[in-house]
Structure 1
Amino acid sequence: MCGIVGYIGSQAAAPILVDGLRSLEYRGYDSAGIALNPGDGRFRVTRASGKLNNLQARVDMADPTSLGIGHTRWATHGRPTEANAHPHRSPDGTVVAVHNGIFENFLELRAELTAAGHAFATETDTECLPILVSHLMASGLAFREAFRQAIGRMHGIYAVACLHAADPGRVLVARSGPPLVVGLGEGENFIASDVIPLLRHTRRVIYLEDGDLAEITREGVSLFRLDGTAVQRPVFTVPYDPVAAEKGGFKHFMQKEIFEQPLAVSNTLLDRLPLDGGEIPLDLPYTLDELRAIRRITILACGTSRHAGLVGQFYLEHLARIGVEVDYGSEYRYRDPVVPEGTLAIGITQSGETADTLAALKEAASRGARTLAICNVMGATAARQAEATLLTHAGPEIGVASTKAFTTQLVVLLLLALRLGEARGTLAPGQREEIIQALRELPALLERAGGMDRQLHAWAQKWHEATDFLYLGRGPLYPIALEGALKLKELSYIHAEGYPAGEMKHGPIALIDRHLPIVALMPRDAHREKVLSNLQEAAARDGRILALVEEGDTGLDHIAEDVLALPRVNPWLAPILYVVPLQLLSYHIAVIRGCDVDQPRNLAKSVTVE
């Protein structure tokens, strides 16, 4: 997702900002820009669509201005054009801002500000902030107070940085959701979305908490809350240890990779969402006739990748109306499979080197199937072996238990289902556009899910001594129940089982008593009422329910011991969102139990043996 950098000091800001943005390229972006404040009442704003090189070619790197902010944007509201790139300005040119996240009430604010006579120049939600700050200052408020009041009007998630043209001595920032880090120097200070851009300049950093605002000058940093009260945050010293730097300040690689999922998904989607009603731009070597000729799909995978395939089965059958079977890569060759004409075999493997999946894909090809690999490593065996490849672009995943590789596999499968649905004419009117817009908003929703970390840590403290867990879901959420159970087993060595909720009464109900935690996945979808009935059956037998529900859904309050409310999401994207809390719960339980989170016993990252 988007990246923010900022600098105030005595050095030229432009090279620091551009270098900082380059170190944030992994976050995924489609445009970039910087704003310099030379103190003469006029900003020097440079923006460009596309890669950072396009921006750097336009920036005067010799400009001596020593105050500025920069941004790499991943489009959610408005197309990925130069006009929509950050930083955004108020119409009078006095205020600029950059923003990660989504202002959910931007339409209301836009209407209010338009009625007050302000003209908007972009399609973005972000533009509301600099215009509102300028509007409040016109009523007599100072920059800091106008910024504080404007932030108080913003609903949603955000990390923002803001400058005023007539005030070259300060940067104002705020955080609610997406990360924001302040780097402390001598006579200079920095801001960034990640600690990595800061390490070449300073080892001393402050991590802003949700609800924090800060005023950053050359001399220091003052933090305060929305009500204006001052607040203190600890200063951390980041060691110049390559491994620690690679972890980006996180305790474990797995923890880092869980929180990287908004960024990983952004990278997966980069250049794969259409503009102006065009086709899904997947780089597939199949003609339209060949796509229409696919009559059956066989998904071959193991472990977590197989769970992704099970979700993909729902995507492909519903959106493309093609029959799908999901097979264990380790079993496929040994059952003399039938491969009808028109079969597409999809091998899903994070590393591209999973021996069982490679062998199964080879077997399918020998029986006449077309082959497609979904993997995370360019040039891996699976990519070379299959006739087509869709890369997930999740970035390196060091933790053995897969997290961001899984969610990006789900995104690729959904994109593939949409592309096949386009080719076959099976998508319901409006459904394609709804899902595409939901995909644009998905990284921000994943940021919000990651923001529930503290509550999930509390759950882990409460439940880490349990010896068994049961995970329940229906429809495309039942594979997420399987994945949640697998993560808990892999990391904490606690026995856990995942089931379709309707299957509970066909065996697992015998295990339910007051000692059994039951993790229930219950978004407000077509399966909600059925899941609710299943959980009432469990509660009647003293099962202890931990429920993941949609915001505003109080249907489980009377029977669930713990409830986590997740943001509303398009039902087809619910599997991607709802798995994040399950990953965090497993992670925290494992840490509390003293387990090796990054390298669980007996497991390997890439299983290259049968």
Structure 2
Amino acid sequence: MCGIIGCVSDADVVEVLLDGLRNMEYRGYDSAGFGVHDGNTIRLGKGVGRVDEIARSLDLKTFSGKIGLAHTRWATHGGVTPENAHPHLSCEGEVAVVHNGIIENYQAIKARLEAKGHRFRSTTDTEVIPHLIEENLKAGKNHREAVLDAVRELKGSYAFIVLFRDLYDRLYGVRKDAPLIIGLSERGNFLASDVLAFLKHTNKAVFLENLEVAEVRRDSYTIWNFEGEEVQHDISTLEWEAMSLSKKEFTHYTLKEIHEQRETIALAFRQDPDDLDRFCLALQGAERIYIVGAGTSYHAALVAKHLFLNLAKLPVEVILASEFEDYATLLDEGTLMLAISQSGETADVLSAVNIAKKRGVCVLSIVNIPSSTLARESEQTLYLNCGPEVGVAATKTFTAQLAVIYTIASRLSNLSIDLEQITEAVKEVFNVERQIAYLAQAFSTSKDCYFIGRGINYPIALEGALKLKELAYVHAEGLAAGELKHGTLALISEGVPVIAINPSDKTYHDTLSNVAEIKARGGRVIGLSDIENSLYDYHVKIPSVGKLFYPLVEVIPLQMFAYYSALERGQNPDYPRNLAKSVTVK
């Protein structure tokens, strides 16, 4: 979940490293740091806070070097302190490391190294790596052997970059169950956990496979597997453009990405017909289908189940990726897995995919990043086509997932898609933005908020609640409206806000009855509907679309409500506390 970058160049790399960190802050932002080799020693600059805050606290003019590494942190082991910020050095400062992931057996390794006289400065799991490599160097290993011998001892999921004090023309990178990519440019080469770290400088990349080590120099690179055997990989050309990382005229990436849905939903609907046909044939040929996802992608999976089951009569079950291991005994060659992920690097999803593949299961995926591990591990993939999403909370990727799911459902059944109507409705729904901002202000002191919906609208209630929790830190629950009377109605009291997702589909009248039950107990109801009703204290009008397509338009006001609620409560919606976008640890 952390972001790591290394660079070997013919020019100074300090600003290159810092710029790379800024583009990866969505992966973690509680602390950050960098290290550069000045020709004599490895100099570190690090601290607690955002990248720019740390940069302002340092005299950057005193740092220079043509090789370095950097890190932005999402804490897993050890508190948020300057000492725990990366990079970490070995005892004598011979080895510097930045790391993303978890070292499961670090305590045993640390105890053994301490017994040999090693002194540790942090409480992280990461710090054992440079000490272990330094120990291997003392035993007479060369630099590559010292790294390879270290990784054979480490248990866990990780990627890390190594810089040596006595070897300042190359970096080493290691990948095990976490992404690591080589970027190739005319003026130097990169190692990074995300292409966004170097996309400004090059669109040429080499994707390390699992259990591989890379040596990267300014104008060359070599890759070995963990057994020390040299391997070759193709050079990929990245499709994204660096300009897509700009916030343009918007204050936050989150708001920009909410507004981009005017275009991205239509782009996601436009799938290659041949790819779509092959994808659907695989679904139709399965005896049973398990859809896995996490967070927002899990909510998209619930919409997929509703459509595939009701329209195409496919035998579908949705399972949280983190819980999938308990269902492994049900897998056989007649099973198909559909994995849904924004990043394609979510550890729980990749773990589920690995379990499925070991049992001979066909894996399909819906993913945003074509170069992701999930895309490479899948037999077939459909892409969201919506460009990078920087805001930690998923917005445009969720509606893009829905668009791809509707496209699949249409090919599997007689569902007709009126893309022109949907596109116009998505544009029209932004007319309520000012009203949404007012409602966020009106309920800015509320400690709780409930979202209700039925049928295909229930996953949207879950998603609306998740967004409010993520961005505004409000206790929020998404509920199937019919379940209110089975317990949650006891929590409804005078003034408690409830958002009723109630379009004019087959669930309309039943949900309206639930609204009446809430009103009778003093709840304040925001009705999200294309039909006005006197039961609503506030009516947020959404445009009319085909009855199954309301999720595409009703979720956007909920995203805006979470965004403006965050602002009203003094929070930065781009960087919610304790969260990171790409969850690469289990």
The TM-score with structure 1 as length reference comes to 0.55
Q: Tell me the amino acid that sits aligned with residue 492 of structure 2.
A: I
- Establish whether residue 452 from structure 1 lines up as the match of residue 432 from structure 2: yes
Aligned with residue 539 of structure 1, among 516, 519, 538: 519
1:493: which partner in 2? 473
Identity of counterpart residues, as a percentage? 41
Aligned counterparts of 1:418 and 1:605: Cα–Cα separation in 2? 30
1:342: which partner in 2? 334
Whether the 8 Å CA contact 1:514–1:543 is kept in 2: the answer is: yes
Shift of 1:305: 0.4
Q: Tell me the amino acid that sits aligned with residue 351 of structure 2.
A: A
- Establish whether residue 572 from structure 1 lines up as the match of residue 572 from structure 2: no
Aligned counterparts of 2:583 and 2:479: Cα–Cα separation in 1? 25
Aligned counterparts of 1:587 and 1:472: Cα–Cα separation in 2? 19
Aligned with residue 400 of structure 2, among 408, 426, 431: 408
Aligned counterparts of 1:259 and 1:419: Cα–Cα separation in 2? 28
Aligned counterparts of 1:398 and 1:286: Cα–Cα separation in 2? 28
2:306: which partner in 1? 314
Aligned with residue 410 of structure 2, among 412, 418, 425: 418
Aligned with residue 464 of structure 1, among 425, 439, 444: 444
Aligned counterparts of 2:271 and 2:382: Cα–Cα separation in 1? 13
Deviation by residue 1:185-221 (Cα, 9 ceiling, x = unmatched) = xxxxxxxxxxxxxxxxxxxxxxxxxxxxxxxxxxxxx
Q: Tell me the amino acid that sits aligned with residue 361 of structure 2.
A: A
Q: Tell me the amino acid that sits aligned with residue 500 of structure 1.
A: A
Shift of 1:283: 4.0
**Secondary structure of the residue that 2:458 maps to in structure 1?**
helix
Deviation by residue 1:408-431 (Cα, 9 ceiling, x = unmatched) = 00111111122233xxxxx3xxxx
Equivalences, count: 345
Aligned counterparts of 2:442 and 2:547: Cα–Cα separation in 1? 30
Aligned counterparts of 1:319 and 1:511: Cα–Cα separation in 2? 36
- Establish whether residue 595 from structure 1 lines up as the match of residue 571 from structure 2: yes
Aligned with residue 371 of structure 1, among 340, 363, 374: 363
Aligned counterparts of 1:321 and 1:257: Cα–Cα separation in 2? 34
Aligned counterparts of 2:501 and 2:292: Cα–Cα separation in 1? 26
1:3: which partner in 2? none
**Secondary structure of the residue that 1:560 maps to in structure 2?**
coil
Deviation by residue 1:389-441 (Cα, 9 ceiling, x = unmatched) = 010111111100000000000111111122233xxxxx3xxxx3xx322x332
Shift of 1:342: 2.9
Shift of 1:270: 2.7
- Establish whether residue 264 from structure 1 lines up as the match of residue 264 from structure 2: yes
Aligned with residue 436 of structure 1, among 417, 441, 446: 417
Shift of 1:444: 1.8
Aligned counterparts of 1:533 and 1:286: Cα–Cα separation in 2? 40
Aligned with residue 521 of structure 1, among 501, 511, 516: 501
**Secondary structure of the residue that 1:547 maps to in structure 2?**
strand
Q: Tell me the amino acid that sits aligned with residue 603 of structure 1.
A: L
Deviation by residue 1:121-153 (Cα, 9 ceiling, x = unmatched) = xxxxxxxxxxxxxxxxxxxxxxxxxxxxxxxxx
Aligned counterparts of 1:287 and 1:549: Cα–Cα separation in 2? 33
Aligned with residue 380 of structure 1, among 372, 381, 384: 372
Aligned counterparts of 2:380 and 2:409: Cα–Cα separation in 1? 15
Whether the 8 Å CA contact 2:289–2:337 is kept in 1: the answer is: yes
Aligned with residue 476 of structure 1, among 456, 464, 476: 456
Shift of 1:335: 4.3
Whether the 8 Å CA contact 1:522–1:528 is kept in 2: the answer is: yes
2:489: which partner in 1? 509
The TM-score with structure 2 as length reference comes to 0.57
Aligned counterparts of 1:416 and 1:602: Cα–Cα separation in 2? 35
Aligned counterparts of 1:404 and 1:336: Cα–Cα separation in 2? 32
Q: Tell me the amino acid that sits aligned with residue 338 of structure 1.
A: L
Which stretches in structure 1 are left out of the alignment for 5+ residues? 1-241, 273-279, 422-426
2:318: which partner in 1? 326
> After the TM superposition, which parts of structure 1 deviate over 3 Å for at least 4 consecutive aligned residues?
242-245, 280-288, 334-337
Q: Alpha carbons of 1:245 and 1:481: their partners in 2 closer, same or farther (altered >3 Å)? A: closer
**Secondary structure of the residue that 2:330 maps to in structure 1?**
coil
**Secondary structure of the residue that 1:465 maps to in structure 2?**
coil
Whether the 8 Å CA contact 2:421–2:545 is kept in 1: the answer is: no
Q: Alpha carbons of 1:529 and 1:253: their partners in 2 closer, same or farther (altered >3 Å)? A: same
Q: Tell me the amino acid that sits aligned with residue 333 of structure 1.
A: E
Whether the 8 Å CA contact 1:400–1:599 is kept in 2: the answer is: yes
1:581: which partner in 2? 557
Whether the 8 Å CA contact 1:284–1:388 is kept in 2: the answer is: no
1:362: which partner in 2? 354
Shift of 1:251: 0.6
Aligned counterparts of 2:284 and 2:296: Cα–Cα separation in 1? 29
Q: Tell me the amino acid that sits aligned with residue 411 of structure 1.
A: A
Aligned counterparts of 1:442 and 1:337: Cα–Cα separation in 2? 41
Shift of 1:287: 8.5
Q: Tell me the amino acid that sits aligned with residue 498 of structure 1.
A: G
1:248: which partner in 2? 248
Shift of 1:369: 2.1
TM-align CA RMSD? 1.9
**Secondary structure of the residue that 1:538 maps to in structure 2?**
helix
Shift of 1:296: 1.8
Aligned with residue 385 of structure 2, among 383, 390, 393: 393
2:288: which partner in 1? 296
2:183: which partner in 1? none
Whether the 8 Å CA contact 2:301–2:318 is kept in 1: the answer is: yes
Shift of 1:245: 8.6
Deviation by residue 1:70-108 (Cα, 9 ceiling, x = unmatched) = xxxxxxxxxxxxxxxxxxxxxxxxxxxxxxxxxxxxxxx
2:195: which partner in 1? none
Q: Alpha carbons of 1:404 and 1:533: their partners in 2 closer, same or farther (altered >3 Å)? A: same
